[in-house]
Structure 1
């Protein structure tokens, strides 16, 4: 299910894609919008909001139409957004920086919906293992994904670096089979593969994303120019999102029904979906989301993401530093280039939701 963390395309391909995409300096008022998403525990509310008419209800309130499209290819969905095929797309903070933003597409994190709080982990075969046991070892993971980022952060805590290990690029669909091989002793992956592998005997989970809280975020990203000229889109999406997740959080028949529907749509049962939600720090209220996106920790986190991305050549061909792409936050704070801001954490619409103004 979490093909969300799948292998990104080579950055050169992203730039080729961007070069064939005409991106105007401004958008224009419009009535019809297309938003894409893929299956993942923290994004299932989008699908439920569509099937239950919640998206349509909020769109009608602002006299617009929103076509919420489920896609089966995560990286493909981001590339289509980058190419201008969609007005918005669900993606991680790292992917938002290294694909559309690095390709020159000005994008806004409309809603930071959750962060991984144990959904991603580092595993070693054998009981009682520690991060120190990774030194000099091969580690199977999806290269340049958030699994790779998690490994880098884990190694730092143990006084190691990426140069102390050997990464073996492995597709997300091949992680479980690879780990079954006697030749593979270490892996980094995400749920549900992580849970499946952890359940095997004699496995040590030596690090997980709960140890770097807030660093692996899931977001709804929209084109900044489109949002600027069409605030109705931001209002409708934000209103629909918080209505839906507050419904699923409620201890009511309606809330239980919503959870069951989301579990079924994601290919698991209610217990399985709840286990995935347990390691997904969803912001169930706009107040929680607002507190996170206005936190002084956010610029620090994104600077770490930018540094990792630069080290691996993910910020563009010829990027001179980790600061080549600017990221802006609340109260005029910016990390990276102030003259090349291409990713914006704008809490305007979440703040409106928190204040009951949608």
Structure 2
């Protein structure tokens, strides 16, 4: 993985875009879909459907590339070196433009306790963090989610002191008493609990439907390969049913596929408790209603927050980011 990232970074520096040739190849074969993503428990169903042969049943070969920087795999998709990505709704919004078109075709999961805010135990509410230093990864889903929390508490980022760190570094700084507040995710929330270090003031189980992972595919690929998208969706439907009927075996397969810090099935199972996997019915619920449905309202939130930070390249509506037509097939 380190070698792959090194090659990707060199390509990005040399050409201005992350053309991930070494990791993903240069030419897509017929019936092949190439997706980039980070290491995250919610992406497990993609590996499960691949390894159980569910995609191939529909004539589709899915190539899954773990690239730990979203900017790199999104740039690779824009350059045509990937056909799409798995990422959060708010994350992909920052890369959508009139020139770079991709749409969500399936919702994988939402964070249900997998993300959280670590604080000292004497902090009882978000109002208590006013004036404190907060470590988080600016420009990531952590900043998006944290700003929603601040808004709900009647605060803004101006009421705290933001220090930009990765989620991992933010957690480490909190554990070392260098930062009083950290916005991070698993496994760090569990590790803090085990060490009896502060407490999780709030986690994403209290904000369902705000941190949602989707599979977003390049518009050209969708238009030219509708049968492949149909096979992708149907394969994920089957994977979700397998998780429900045989979770222990599913976690074993997904842990091996996702790898990294989730390579241990027990670790994967523990992390899976912090997400809700989306199947056929949940996808239908999430994407229905257009601008006024769950997905539409989440996109509006993304526009409000990322637009306020000047992170969007265009005014994004539901139809710009979603193609739900394959969910009904």
How many angstroms apart in 2 are the aligned matches of 1:67 and 1:270?
A: 23
* Mean Cα deviation higher: 234-243 or 48-57: 48-57
Aligned equivalents of 1:17, 1:263: Cα separation in 2 = 31
Count of aligned pairs: 301
Match of 1:228 in 2: 223
Deviations 1:46-92 (A, max 9, x none): 12222333222222xxxxx5241222324122221122111121111
- The residue number in structure 2 matching 1:314 is 311
Q: 2-side partners of 1:66 and 1:104: how far apart? A: 27
Distance 1:67 1:158 in 2: 43
Residues 279 and 103 of structure 1: CA distance in aligned 2, closer, same or farther (over 3 Å): farther
Deviations 1:218-274 (A, max 9, x none): 011101122112111111111111111211210x4xx53222222344435444322
Q: How many Å separate the matches in 2 of 1:280 and 1:163?
A: 31
Q: Secondary structure at the match of 1:151?
A: helix
Q: Deviations 1:253-298 (Å, cap 9, x if unpaired)?
A: xx53222222344435444322222221111x31221111114232
| d(CA) in 1 for partners of 2:158, 2:281 | 41
Change in CA separation of 1:49 and 1:116 when aligned onto 2, cut-off 3 Å: same
**2:311 alignment partner, SS class:** coil
Cα RMSD between the aligned structures? 2.6
The structure richer in helix per residue is: 2
Give the direction of change, closer, same or farther, for the CA distance of 1:294–1:230 in structure 2 (3 Å limit).
Answer: same
- Name the CA shift for 1:121/1:56 in 2 (closer, same or farther; >3 Å): same
1:53 counterpart residue number: 53
- In structure 1, distance between residues paired with 2:80 and 2:154: 43
Unmatched runs of 5 consecutive residues or more in structure 2 = 1-8, 19-28
Q: Corresponding residue for 2:109? A: 114
CA deviation string 1:178-202 (max 9, x = no partner) = 1123331110011112222233325
Whole-Å separation in 2 of the counterparts to 1:56 and 1:310: 40
Using the alignment, how far apart are the partners of 2:206 and 2:117 within structure 1? Answer: 11
Contact 1:112–1:220 (8 Å) recurs in 2? yes
2:317 paired with 1:327? yes
Shift of 1:39: 2.6
Alignment correspondent of 1:96: 92
* Aligned residue number for residue 204 of structure 2: 209
Query: Residues 39 and 182 from structure 1, CA distance in 2 versus in 1: closer, same or farther, beyond 3 angstroms?
Result: closer
Superposition deviation, residue 43 in structure 1: 0.8
Bigger Cα displacement from structure 2, 265-274 vs 232-241: 265-274
The whole-number CA distance in structure 1 between the counterparts of 2:209 and 2:182 is 22
Partner of 1:338: none
Structure 1: gaps (5+ residues): 1-8, 19-28, 60-64, 317-323, 330-340, 353-358
Residue 180 of structure 1: aligned partner? 175
- Per the normalisation by structure 1, the TM-score is 0.77
Decide whether aligned partners of structure 1 residues 184 and 269 sit closer, same or farther in structure 2, where only a CA change above 3 A counts: same
SS of match in other structure, 1:143: coil
SS at match of 2:58: helix
Alignment of 1:1-358 (within 5 A): 17=17, 31-59=31-59, 65-75=60-70, 76-99=72-95, 101-102=96-97, 104-127=99-122, 129-250=124-245, 252=246, 255-265=247-257, 266=259, 267-283=262-278, 285-295=279-289, 296-316=293-313, 324-329=314-319, 341=320, 343=321, 345-352=322-329
